[in-house]
Structure formats: C-alpha cells, structure tokens
Amino acid sequence: MSSTVRIPVKPETGIEVIAMPAPSRAARWRRFGRAVIPLFLGLILWQAVAMLVPWLRQLEPGAFPGPWDTAQRAFEVILQAKPLLGHSIFMHTAVSLLRWGVGFTLAAVLGILTGAALGRIAVLHRACMPLVYVLQLIPGLAWIPVTILLFGLGDGATIFMIAMAAFPPMVINVVAGMRTTPTAYLAVARMVGANRRMIFWQVLAPASIPHLLSGMRVALGNSWRVVVAAEMVVGAGTGLGYSIIQSRWTLDYAGAFVCIAVIAVIGLLTEQLLIARIEERTLQRWGGMT
C-alpha cells in the first residue's frame, strides 16, 4: 500500500502540500521488471543466435561468441586488465571518448553560433539553409575520402568526421527554435522597451532551448556512431572502433563483442545520465517559454 508524503510549506500560515503518493513496493518491482525483462530477452536471443550460426554455417561450436564467452573476455580485459591489441580497454575507451568529446564540442559551438545567425538573419537563412540540409543528408562515412585528403590518417580525420555528423542537426534545431518563437513573446518584449540584444537573450534563447536539446540528442547519437566507424577506417592504432575491426585479423571476436558492449553502455549512460537530466533541469527552468 502506498504512503502519502506531506510536505509543510510556510509553517506560519499553517498550509501544507500533499505530495504525490510514494510508489508502492509492487510499483517498484514493476519498474524493475520493465528494465530487466528486455535485457533478459536480449540475452536469450543472443544465445540462440550464437548456437544457431555455427550450425547453419558449419563452423566449430563456440565460433560465434555468446553472452557467457563475452562475459569471460570482459572479465579478462576489464577486471584482469589484460591488453587488447597492445593497450588496455580503458585506453581504447578513453581515446574514443576524447575524440568524440572534441568533435562534438566543435560541432556544438559552431552549430549553435551558425544556427543563431541563420535563425535571426533572413538573408543568411535563405542562402545557407539549403546547404545545411544537404550536409544533413550525407552519411558520416561518405566523408572518408574528403577527410583523408584533408587530414590524412589520424585523430584529425576522426574528429572532422564526428563534427560533420553532429553539426547539421545542431544548426537545424537551433534555427527551428529561433524561427518558431511565438510572436506574442516578441510583441510583449518590444512593448516593454526591450532592444534586440535583450530580445535575443531573454526571449529567443530560452524559447529555443527545447529545440537545442533535441538537436543535441540527435547530434550525440550521430557523432558516437561515426566515431566508432571512423576509427575502423582512419584509426591510429587505438579506440573501440579500431579494436573491433582488428578483431577479424586476430580472431578475437569475443573481444570485439566486449567493445560493442562498452559502446552500448556509454551511449545508454550518456542518454540517461547526461542528456535526460540536462533536459529535465533545463525545461524545469525554461519550460514556460515553450
């Protein structure tokens, strides 16, 4: 049975607020089940595929790593710190995260500045937005020839590809936020004597935050996928993507599966612990502007 939490407010007034009922034990178990059941089903499907593929392709038993094989390899490279292609998995993960962070930060800064300019200046919007839409349509891996010609093989090429994958969605969403601000807000701001700078920072910027967060969510996903793919092609001997592609030569497929699991965990944590919380706190403060 759920219990009701009472929170007193301003004791001198004698007023108290009845908060939402605390979740019952059954509700907490249901929430836990909704989180665990998909994982459990995924592991069952994974194990079924691991058993079926060797039989269909007439391979040796265990050729396709299952959950247990991957867990054993994860224990070796994570807990026992055994090297993976000459480096620890922590080194590969740190390098991938650094490349991702640099590329995404560049894209975010340039995307916000570009989007703000295109959203406020009609001439620039008409001239440049078609180009931004074209960039949005180009797959991240299609930049490989251009990247190699510009930067050669190495971190610069990877960072460039990450930035090109994250830049268009940032621009598009910032422009959308700027151009869909309710005209009533702008009219009220002008009536109270706000100048252009005040309108931008106190009306347009807060009203654009939900769109900016949506663009950030898309850009983070795009850029994380691209950093792994780019490392497979233009990696410099380190990174999760490099480790995955090199596993075909070393036949360490269980190690590749461990890297894939790390990639998935990082993406999930970024979504749930970073983006979702930023979005929640930002909308709590600025949600009234939307």
Give me the CATH number covering residue 210: 1.10.3720.10
The range of the structural domain enclosing residue 33 comes to 6-61
Confirm whether 106 is domain-assigned: yes
Helices 122-137 and 155-179: crossing angle in degrees, nearest 10, is: 130
pTM above 0.75, yes or no: no
pLDDT band at 167 (very low <50, low <70, confident <90, very high): very high
Most confident of 176-190, 196-210, 262-276: 262-276
Whether 158 and 263 map to the same domain: the answer is yes
pLDDT band at 5 (very low <50, low <70, confident <90, very high): very low
Most confident of 50-54, 164-168, 235-239, 268-272: 164-168
Does position 168 have pLDDT exceeding 70, yes or no?
yes
- The count of structural domains within the chain is 2
Q: What is the pLDDT of residues 23-61, one digit of tens each?
A: 666 666 667 666 677 778 888 888 888 888 878 877 777
**What is the structure's pLDDT at 148?**
83
Does position 6 have pLDDT exceeding 50, yes or no?
no
Confirm whether 77 is domain-assigned: no
Whether 224 and 107 map to the same domain: the answer is yes
Whether 34 and 109 map to the same domain: the answer is no
